[in-house]
Amino acid sequence: MGFERNYQINNPSKQINLNKRNYSTLVQKSKLNPWFVTGFSDAEASFGVSIYIDKRIKGRQGWVVKPSFQISLNSKDINLLLQLQEFFSCGVIVNKKSRNEASFRVNSLQDLTNFIITHFSNYPLLSQKSADFILFKQIIELMNNKVHLTENGLNN
């Protein structure tokens, strides 16, 4: 009709200013709902335990046990990771700019026990990840009881 040039028909997502470093669709700074944190973790989090030999350690057969809770996202969503860090009151944010990836990590045994285990015990996961959490929780309990410092405990 002659007026088509007055309408923008471009892809709306391309009209957003992406020059900002920490652009996120989450712009509000509100307290996260605990059930949201559980649901989000069901999809994006991982519970892990690394066991390796550190030759610098005498005794304990040189074995090191490192549990961790981690959520990794695109660097654009770092604001959500910061809110998760605030929600749990622990952990660190690691930003790998070369991979456009940011991670929220909790490695401290005390923080895992007091914040992560407590949260998921009160607000249980619903997916298969709940089985991973149960195993992770058992490992944390063994470590808190220092069972992992013996060869038999390490095998457990």
In a domain, 5, yes or no: no
Q: Angle at which helices 34-44 and 78-88 pack, to 10 degrees? A: 120
What is the reported pTM? 0.76
Distance CA 15, CA 106 (A): 37
Q: Residue 10: is its pLDDT beyond 70? A: no
Distance CA 25, CA 15 (A): 14
**What is the CATH number for 71?**
3.10.28.10
User: In the predicted model, what is the mean pLDDT of residues 95-114?
Assistant: 94
Number of domains in the chain: 1
In a domain, 4, yes or no: no
Q: Residue 153: is its pLDDT beyond 60? A: yes
**In terms of Cα–Cα distance, which of 61, 66, 37, 60 is closest to 124?**
37
Range(s) of the domain holding residue 72 = 32-155
| Main-chain dihedrals φ then ψ at residue 14, nearest 5 degrees | -80, -10
Q: What is the pLDDT of residues 45-100, one digit of tens each?
A: 999 999 888 777 665 567 888 999 999 999 999 999 999 999 999 999 999 888 89
In a domain, 11, yes or no: no
Q: Residue 128: is its pLDDT beyond 70? A: yes
In a domain, 79, yes or no: yes
In a domain, 12, yes or no: no
In a domain, 22, yes or no: no
Higher pLDDT, 139 or 149: 139
| Cβ burial 63-83 (10 Å sphere, 16+ → b, else e) | eebebbbbbbbebbbbbbbbb
**In terms of Cα–Cα distance, which of 83, 5, 77 is closest to 37?**
83
